[in-house]
Amino acid sequence: MFSGLMLTAWESASIVAVVAGVVGFFIVLRGSAFAAHALPNGAFAGAAGASLIGVDAIAGLAVFSILGALTIAALGRRARHDVATALVIVVMLGLGSLFLSMTTEYAPEIYSLLFGEVLGVSSSELIPIAVIGVVAIAAVFLVYRPLMLSSVMPDVAEARGVGSTRMEVIFLVVVALTTTMAVPVVGALLIFSLLISPAAAARSFTNRPFTAMGLSVLIALGTVWSAIALAYLSNLPIGFFVGSIGALTYAAGRGWAGRQRNRGSTPRLGAPGRSAARAQST
């Protein structure tokens, strides 16, 4: 389970999980789930096109997902992107089906683009995956505050010189980078799951933003690790486990949040006293 081939699988999947946890936090916060669905689809077409003309899959993934990100940002108006996003998916999937019809690759190759092939990642692919992942996380940390402000209150952010469009472009390019490094490992469909479920679950467990982001990373790691282990032991596809564990953690989060809310509805003693004490001390 931890042999050479498997070790690369553990490593690559862990990198993807960490990046997905960080980037996913902002996808859920901004309500950009649809874009997170569209870009991996676009990337999928890029990978298919790359294999057709014989270049590296990562290059095709990068070109198509970044083009998709810029198109969504350019066509979207006033933070409404749903139609632009849908059009990007439609065009990209159309191209993808064209490329697939022209390619001579075997079906398993295409299958792996959609559902990933953790075991198929070679150790030479590990370096570009890690580098792109580090760039994506560094970009999120760099724009953390303005991105947070722009996600929560776009009007106020604008008034303080944080342009919504600029933030949108930066963020979608980060999602595109995440897609590029993740699709070869977990596939176009499962990266979507890893971007949404852990971050959505995490916010039920805490009301602190940075804690939620950290928790999102931990849940993503837990999800891929247990999915790989379960797939190894049961010989069932990893994708099945990633999807169902993601749904389970989200359900657990909602359950937890519901319990907290019921408990919180009874008046908390001590809280008013604290504020009164503070008022007196100032």
Partner 1 sequence: MQGRAVNGSDEILAVDGVSVTLSGREILRDVTFHINAGEFTGLIGSNGAGKTTLMRVILGLLTPSAGTVRVESGSRGRSLIGYVPQRITLDPDMPLRARDLVGLGIDGQRFGLPLPSSMRRKQVDEMLDAVDATRFADSRVGNLSGGEQQRILIAHALISHPRLLLLDEPLANLDIGSEQEVVDLLARIARQQRIAVLISTHDMNPLLPVMDRIVYIANGRIATGTTAEVVTSESLTKLYGVHVDVIHVHDRILVVAGRREEALQHGGNESIVELV
Report d(CA 235, CA 99) in Å as an integer: 31
Q: Which is nearer to partner 1, 56 or 158 (by Cβ)?
A: 158
Binder to partner 1 among 58, 62, 176, 212 (CB under 8 A)?
A: 212
146 lies in the site for partner 1, by CB under 8 A: yes
Strand, coil or helix: 167: helix
Q: Which is nearer to partner 1, 235 or 275 (by Cβ)?
A: 275
Smallest distance, partner 1 to C-beta of residue 249, A: 15
282 lies in the site for partner 1, by CB under 8 A: yes
Q: Which is nearer to partner 1, 4 or 161 (by Cβ)?
A: 161
CA atoms within 13 A on the CB side of 116: 32
251 lies in the site for partner 1, by CB under 8 A: no
Binder to partner 1 among 33, 34, 158, 232 (CB under 8 A)?
A: 158
Smallest distance, partner 1 to C-beta of residue 158, A: 6
Q: Which is nearer to partner 1, 108 or 161 (by Cβ)?
A: 161
Helix axes 4-30, 144-152, angle to 10 degrees: 50
Please name which of 22, 3, 5, 7 lies closest in space to residue 182, comparing C-alpha atoms.
22
117 lies in the site for partner 1, by CB under 8 A: no
Q: Which is nearer to partner 1, 55 or 152 (by Cβ)?
A: 152
Find out whether 37 and 87 touch, Cβ atoms under 8 Å. Answer: no
152 lies in the site for partner 1, by CB under 8 A: yes
CA atoms within 13 A on the CB side of 181: 29
Binder to partner 1 among 9, 18, 148, 177 (CB under 8 A)?
A: 148
Report d(CA 150, CA 79) in Å as an integer: 11
Structure tokens at 57: 């899959």
Binder to partner 1 among 100, 157, 185, 221 (CB under 8 A)?
A: 157
What are the CA-CA distances from residue 266 to residues 5, 159, 206, 207, 221 (Å)? 54, 39, 19, 19, 35
Report d(CA 20, CA 60) in Å as an integer: 20
Please name which of 153, 217, 168 lies closest in space to residue 35, comparing C-alpha atoms.
168
138 lies in the site for partner 1, by CB under 8 A: no
Report d(CA 275, CA 232) in Å as an integer: 54
The number of beta carbons lying within 10 Å of the beta carbon of residue 173 is 18
22 lies in the site for partner 1, by CB under 8 A: no
153 lies in the site for partner 1, by CB under 8 A: yes
Smallest distance, partner 1 to C-beta of residue 279, A: 6
**Site map (CB under 8 A) of partner 1, residues 163-202, x = contact:** ---------------------------------------x
Q: Which of residues 46-105 bind partner 1 (CB under 8 A)?
A: none
Binder to partner 1 among 1, 53, 75, 210 (CB under 8 A)?
A: 210
Q: Which residues of 76-91 are buried (b: 16+ CB within 10 A; e: fewer)?
A: beeeebeebbeebbee
Give contact residues for partner 1 (rule: CB under 8 A). Answer: 29, 31, 141-146, 148-149, 152-153, 155-162, 202-204, 206-212, 257, 271-272, 274-275, 278-279, 282
